[in-house]
Chains A and B, each alone.
Chain A
Amino acid sequence: MRSGLIVMLAVVAGLLTPHSFFAHHSSAAYEIGKRVTLKGTVKQWVYSNPHCMLILEVKGEGGEVVVWTNETQAPSVIFAVGYRRDSFKFGDQVTITVEPFKNGEPYGRILGAVLADGKVLGPALSPPPSNAAPQP
């Protein structure tokens, strides 16, 4: 079961194209290419513009609870890949893959999610991202 979940998340994360998907706000805050898998309890799902946000309580290895705040795109953008206003409910146990902040704070942007009922959300409908080159 657990390995199946990991495979699903890997597929979702691999198919996503974060740069073009997350169009509204800066990519500069993120550690591009890094992936963190979070399994936790839904505290809040904010379904609004400019970006939806999922606030998740995640238990660390030492048993402490860390609150992760994660963004995704606007409702009209993520609708096409399955996200809905009731996708996440308070208390749901979910697993998400995020690209975390560079600064080490518990913030990230969602690259894929497995809901409480096992439903996988994503990938995004976007073309391949442009390849960033060094500034001349």
Chain B
Amino acid sequence: MRKPSPLSAVFFAVVAWPVATFAQTGSAGGWPAPDWNKAPITDANRKPAPRRSLVGTWGPAAGPGAGTQASGVQLKPNDGKPENQLPYTPYGMELYRSHKALEGIDAVLPGKDNDPRNLCEPLGVPRYNHYNLRIAQIFQDDYKVVILYSYDNRWRVIWTDGRELPKLVDGSIEIGGEIREQRFFGYSVGRWVDDYTLEVQTVGTMPDDRVWLDSTGRPISEQARVTETFRRVDYDTLVWSETVDDPKVYTKPWETMRLPMRLQDPRTDLMEYYCSPVEQDNYNKLFGNAASGKGAK
């Protein structure tokens, strides 16, 4: 066998170096898991943000638990504190009281809840922003931004090609004079406010008897207008903010989330986290029913 030349050895070393280096820090076998122990961004390691790009694999900067939001939306946990009370309309309060959630100050026992999540229903926008937001992958081209949510492997399109936001009409949505259907993910349109900030408006989401805002049973209706901003602070940091304006349920707009996200390695492999009716049923038989006094096994 011919002996490799010194030049080819150097070439191989240069080509292989980044992968080999990464493989040492990732999971065994080259299937890297999310890295939740990254060094903080400081003036010494801060890199400039790319212009008009949100592309990347993003996880909450404070760790995966920061995006879980089990106690309610990030900025307003449903913990009974006066500062976290929401400006419900009478109808909104009635809706909230009709929701039997498994989390929050008014949590009920498993089996006594009516969270559509436990039927494996799609959570919809904006609840996907408030339910186990551990990793989100963002892709984009000249016409759209696509978000891949890790929970339940769901994806969503935000159009950035200049099209108009559909018009909210009573109980429905209108595009070019036609009445269109409501959607779990609504209709999203984004525009660049500056080179580092994308503002996204979403309307046309599902009616309030199909979706919740968060895991504590806060409601949201088909009259909601959701505004998100994605601000690329630097190369490694994206701040994902959200404001909900839903006059049917809330008397005024309010901010739900302002979550710093940290860039993960693009080769990060994500485990599946899904809602399976079969596995849900098995869980209830072995465990969940016991909590509600129905008896398990």
Contacts and interface: CB of A to CB of B under 8 A. Distances in A.
22 contacts: A17-B65, A23-B68, A25-B102, A26-B291, A27-B102, A27-B107, A28-B102, A46-B286, A48-B283, A49-B276, A69-B286, A69-B297, A77-B132, A77-B134, A79-B271, A80-B33, A101-B291, A107-B287, A127-B65, A130-B71, A133-B81, A135-B106
A22 B132 CA distance: 11
A131 B110 contact: no
B119 interface: no
A113 interface: no
Given A26-B102, A48-B279, A107-B291, A127 B273 contact: no
Interface string B59-98: 0001111101111000001011110010000000000000
A77 B66 CA distance: 13
A41 B85 CA distance: 46
Interface size band for B: 35 or more
A133 B273 contact: no
B243 to A, nearest CB: 21
Contact of B279 (A28, A50, A80, A101): A50
A19 B70 contact: yes
A135 B215 CA distance: 18
Given A20-B70, A76-B272, A133-B79, A107 B290 contact: yes
Q: Is the interface of A mostly helix, strand, loop or mixed?
A: loop
Interface of B: 33-34, 36, 62-66, 68-71, 77, 79-82, 85, 102-103, 105-110, 113, 132, 134, 150, 215, 270-276, 279-280, 282-283, 286-288, 290-293, 296-297
Q: Is the interface of B mostly helix, strand, loop or mixed?
A: loop
Contacts of A28: 102, 107-109
Contacts of A124: 65
Contacts of A29: 109-110, 291-292
A3 interface: no
B273 A74 contact: yes
A23 B282 contact: no
B81 A127 contact: no
Contacts of A74: 273
Contacts of B69: 23
A76 B109 contact: no
7 A-B pairs with least C-beta separation: A126-B65, A26-B102, A76-B271, A29-B291, A23-B70, A76-B273, A28-B107
Nearest to B297: A69
Contacts of B34: 80
Interface in A32-91: 46, 48-51, 53, 55, 69, 71, 74-77, 79-80
B112 to A, nearest CB: 9
B115 to A, nearest CB: 10
Contacts of A133: 79-81, 105
A100 to B, nearest CB: 11
A25 B288 contact: yes
Given A80-B33, A127-B63, A132-B80, A50 B291 contact: no
